[in-house]
Amino acid sequence: MIPLKDTIPRIGIPLITWILVLLNAIIFIFEISIPKDILEEVFYFFGLVPARYSSPKWALIHGLSPKDYFPFLSNMFLHAGWLHIIGNMWFLYLFGSSVEDRMGHIRFLILYLLTGLAANILFFTLDIHSMIPEFGASGAIAGVMGAYIVMFPRARILTLIPIFLFPFFFYLPALFYLGFWFLIQLFSGTLSFTSPGTGGVAWWAHVGGFLAGMAFVPVFRNRRHSYREPFPDETYHHIYR
């Protein structure tokens, strides 16, 4: 299910969202411009490798400092390929624009970074001996999505659902769309316990980020901004028909 548009009217410019998208894009362009062997070293140095902290001897042998905690932050800005970064940045733009508009620039940035850290901490805790680097913005973006579901529960998401290769478009309630997305992450994360440390999608980072985003909303909500109701059905059906 590919989200295309939400029904929340926005007032300001999502400055931080655009900066985050641009920063991730610049770093990704740098990634694809360097040789693969060097890129592998970049992933290990700036990505989150749990064994770096749980097995200091292993880390030192591989040239990684177990006292360097910067990867808990830097790994949020690395991506493995075009689909990885395009998908992440689209979700960030779609859900982040509304959250930032309602929350404010600085609060949104703090929320983004804190939920990304929360996602990394949960991933690290549940796969503490993994020697595979984890990276990507999806943990922080999951935090934005968690904040969105709390702040805009009555919103609707215009969603593309391919059925037998034919595209169909539906307006789904945000509670359903994001709730279903979260359950997939939770279910997949539970299944991942059968093969820990094998790489792939960091499902538990998504779960941790999403729950942190929900929990942080009362702290970072900008109460000076009034709640903006979604466009009524007749309006957005006309706009996007």
- What DSSP string describes 115-139? HHHHHHHHHHHHTTT--S-B--SHH
Mean pLDDT of 163-180: 91
Model confidence band, residue 235 (pLDDT cutoffs 50, 70, 90) = very low
Task: With a cut of 50, say whether residue 64 has pLDDT above it.
Answer: yes
Q: What is the pLDDT of residue 200?
A: 66
Q: What's the pTM value of the predicted model, to 2 decimals?
A: 0.87
Is position 206 annotated as part of the catalytic site?
yes
Confidence of residue 224 (pLDDT cuts 50, 70, 90): low
Confidence band, pLDDT 50/70/90 cuts, at residue 164 = confident
**Is 84 in the active site?**
no
The single residue of 97, 98, 130, 206 carrying the catalytic annotation is 206
**Any alpha helices (H) in 34-104, and if so which ranges?**
36-46, 51-54, 56-61, 71-74, 82-103
Mean pLDDT value across residues 53-58: 93
- State how far the Cα of 54 lies from the Cα of 44, in Å rounded to an integer: 15
Query: What whole-number distance in Å separates Cα of residue 239 and Cα of residue 219?
Result: 35
Go through the domains of the chain in sequence order and give each one's CATH number. Answer: 2-240 (1.20.1540.10)
Catalytic one of 138, 192, 225, 238: 138
Q: How confident is the model at residue 191 (pLDDT cuts 50, 70, 90)?
A: confident
Per-residue pLDDT at 226 exceeds 80: no
